[in-house]
Structure 1
Amino acid sequence: MKFKPVAFVINIAITLGVSALGSWATIQSVKTWYRTINKPSFNPPDWLFGPVWTTLYVLIGIAAYLVWVRRDKIIHFPRTVAIYLIQLILNLAWSFIFFYLHEIGFALAEIILLLIIIAINGLVFYKINKWAGLIFIPYFLWVSFATILTYNIFMLN
């Protein structure tokens, strides 16, 4: 498979664009509302979230690229794209629900759905390209942690 640099950059740019939108919803609340709510003892420091999410979004973009370059061989490519886009939209929605709307309970329900879609997306990608699917494992693990964190914040508030 020949490397396609433009497609590679576009796939990463899409995910980083979603990241930027999520950051917009998050940034003001981290400085204000988020500091006032009760959080569990295992809540990571605020500075950790940016680098972790940036790394994950780049990995998600790489996974999407690995699938995109095989699009001509994928019978259900539109379905694959739909699952991928749903996953990105749910990821973005969580930031708005939790940080912008301050709806912790709704964010908890939404992140559980996100976790399910991430698992489905990872499995679908794995069937197309093993590395694309495996790249979703750190994302799934981090969102699993975020789900536990969201649950505990919900219970504490």
Structure 2
Amino acid sequence: MTQTLPRDARQPRRLRRWPLLLLLLALSYAVAAVGGLASSDAASTYRSLDRPAWAPPSWLFGPVWTVLYATIAVSAWLVLRRRPLAEARAETGAWSAQLALNLAWTPLFFGAGQYGLAFLDICLLLAAIGTTMVLFRRSSRAAWLLLVPYALWVLYAASLNFAIWQLNG
């Protein structure tokens, strides 16, 4: 008599990992969508602010963040496909914290016009990204590398946030 395995057990392990990637992408882009809802007039608000000469044009933010949210999700996926969630609690916690801080920034900056609080948030975000990178590096060099552009862009955004706070405060 042969034993029939559940359908999931018959699938190659790598195929079972794709739903996790889709979930992580959905979470990352949900943060983008909620941030967008919180600041539907962000482009016009940004254009109306006094900005430093090195500030990018408003149209650049959408394409950059579209790519960065994908790299944020894929980096977590690279870690979580190697280790069960129960064994990656620190990594998952740091990743979730940076995503939450990322989500908080847009309503603070654009929705409430609280440039100082937004700067505090983005500084905490940088710390959370750094922590995530350190933890991810232990599991996957590729996951760590995928977060480098994110960290650099947020560092640039923090500098821009500070300059706008000083010019418009």
Could you tell me which runs of 5 or more consecutive residues in structure 2 were left unpaired when the two chains were aligned.
1-12
Contact 1:74–1:128 (CA<8 Å) still a contact in 2? no
2:18 and 2:81 map into 1 onto residues whose CA distance is 11
Number of residue pairs matched?
Answer: 155
Separation in structure 2 between the aligned mates of residue 114 and residue 23 of structure 1, nearest angstrom: 18
**Equivalent residue letter for 2:143:** A
Q: Which residue of structure 1 lines up, in the alignment, with residue 158 of structure 2?
A: 147
Deviations for 1:20-40, whole angstroms, at most 9, x for unmatched residues? 111112322332x33322111
Please give the residue correspondences for 1:81-92 in structure 2 after superposition, counting only pairs within 5 Å.
Answer: 81-92=92-103
Aligned to 2:24: 11
Contact 1:118 1:140 in 2 (8 A): yes
Q: How does 1:1-157 map to 2 (within 5 A)?
A: 2-3=14-15, 4-31=17-44, 33-72=45-84, 75=87, 77-157=88-168
Percent identical: 35
Does the CA-based 8 Å contact 1:11-1:61 persist in structure 2? Answer: yes
Q: Could you tell me whether the CA contact under 8 Å between 2:46 and 2:58 is conserved in 1?
A: no
- TM-score norm. by structure 1 comes to 0.92
Q: CA RMSD in A?
A: 1.6
SS of equivalent to 1:71: coil
Letter in 1 for 2:34: L
Q: Which amino acid aligns with 2:165?
A: F
The equivalent residue for 2:6 is none
C-alpha deviation, 1:123, in angstroms = 1.1
Q: Distance in 1 between matches of 2:92 and 2:139?
A: 12
Cα distance change of structure 1 residues 127 and 74 upon mapping to structure 2, 3 Å threshold: farther
Deviating beyond 3 angstroms after TM superposition, the runs of 4 or more aligned structure 1 residues are none
Q: Which has the larger radius of gyration?
A: 2
Tell me by how many angstroms 1:42 deviates.
Answer: 1.0
**TM-score, normalised relative to structure 2:** 0.86
User: Could you tell me whether the CA contact under 8 Å between 2:115 and 2:161 is conserved in 1?
Assistant: yes
